[in-house]
Structure 1
Amino acid sequence: MTQTKKLSKREVNKAFWIYQLGCEESNSYERLQSLIFCASMIPAIKKLYADDKEEQKKALKRHLTFFNTEGSIGSSIQGITLAMEEEKANGADISGSAITSIKTGLMGPLAGIGDSVIWSALMPIIISIFIPMAKSGNPLGGLLPLIIYTAITMYISYFLIHRCYTVGRSSIIDLLQNGLIKEVIYGANVLGMMMMGALSASYVTVTTPLKIHVPGGSTIVLQTILDSMLKGLLPLAAVLLIYWYMQKKGPRYGVIIGTIIVISLLGSFCGIL
Structure 2
Amino acid sequence: MASVPETNVLTSKKLTKKDLSKSFWIYQLGCELSNSYERLQSLVFCASMIPAIKKLYHDDEEAQRTALKRHLAFFNTEGTIGSSIQGISLAMEEEKANGADISDMAITSIKTGLMGPLAGIGDSIIWAALMPIIISIFIPMAKTGSMIAGIAPLVLYTAITMYISWVLINKSYTLGRNSIISLLQDGKIKQVIYSANVLGMMMMGALSASYVNISSPMELVVPGGATIVFQEILDQILKGLLPLSAVFIIYYYMLKKGPRYGVIISTIVIVSIIGALLGIL
TM-score with structure 2 length normalisation? 0.60
Partner residue of 1:152?
160
1:107 aligned partner: 115
- Structure 2 counterpart of 1:62: 70
Q: Equivalents in 2 of 1:71, 1:113: separation in Å?
A: 11
Question: What are the within-5 Å matches in structure 2 for residues 243-254 of structure 1?
Answer: none
Give CA-to-partner distance per residue, 1:242-273, whole Å, 9 cap, x none: xxxxxxxxxxxxxxxxxxxxxxxxxxxxxxxx
Q: Give the Cα–Cα distance (whole angstroms) in 2 for the partners of residues 19 and 150 of structure 1.
A: 14
Unaligned 5+ runs, structure 2? 1-8, 183-281
Pick from 68, 80, 88 the counterpart of residue 80 of structure 1: 88
Q: CA deviation at 1:142?
A: 1.2
Q: Does 1:137 align with 2:145?
A: yes
3-state SS of the aligned residue for 1:112?
Answer: helix
Secondary structure, aligned partner of 1:70: coil
Instruction: Give the deviation of 1:78 after TM superposition.
Output: 0.3
DSSP 3-state at the match of 1:160: helix
Distance in 1 between residues matched to 2:85 and 2:16, nearest whole Å: 18
C-alpha distance in 2, partners of 1:122/1:91? Answer: 42
Aligned to 1:127: 135
Q: Secondary structure at the match of 1:67?
A: coil
Aligned AA for 1:168? G
Counterpart of 1:45 (choices 40, 49, 53) is: 53
- Give distance in 2, aligned partners of 1:67 and 1:111: 11
* 1:93 corresponding residue in structure 2: 101
Aligned with 1:21 (options 12, 15, 29)? 29
Find the aligned partners of 2:147 and 2:126 in 1 and give their Cα distance: 24
Q: Please give the alpha-carbon distance, in whole angstroms, between the structure 2 residues aligned to 1:54 and 1:21.
A: 28
Matched to 2:172, the amino acid is C
Structure 2: distance between partners of 1:165 and 1:19: 15
Aligned twin of 1:71: 79
What amino acid sits opposite 2:90 in the alignment? Answer: L
For each residue in 1:117-148, what CA deviation from the matched residue of structure 2 results, as whole angstroms up to 9, or x when unmatched?
Answer: 00000000000010000011001111111100
In structure 1, C-alpha distance between the alignment counterparts of 2:167 and 2:20, rounded to whole Å? 11
SS at match of 1:46: helix
The residue identity in structure 2 corresponding to 1:70 is: E
CA distance in structure 1 between the aligned counterparts of 2:10 and 2:171, rounded to whole angstroms: 27
Q: Secondary structure of 2:176's partner? A: helix
From the CA coordinates, give the structure whose radius of gyration is larger.
2
Runs of 4+, deviation exceeding 2 Å = none
Of 110, 113, 124, 1:116 maps to: 124
CA deviation profile, 1:16-74 (whole Å, cap 9, x unmatched): 00000000000000000000000000000001001111110110000000000000000
1:107 is paired with a residue of what secondary structure?
Answer: helix
Question: Residue type of the partner of 2:20?
Answer: V
- Aligned counterparts of 2:150 and 2:18: Cα–Cα separation in 1: 34
**In structure 2, what is the Cα distance between the partners aligned to 1:15 and 1:96?**
20
* Residues matched between the structures, number: 174
Query: Gaps (5+ residues) in structure 1?
Result: 173-183, 185-273
- Candidates 156, 166, 172, aligned match of 2:174: 166
Q: What TM-score, normalized to structure 1?
A: 0.62
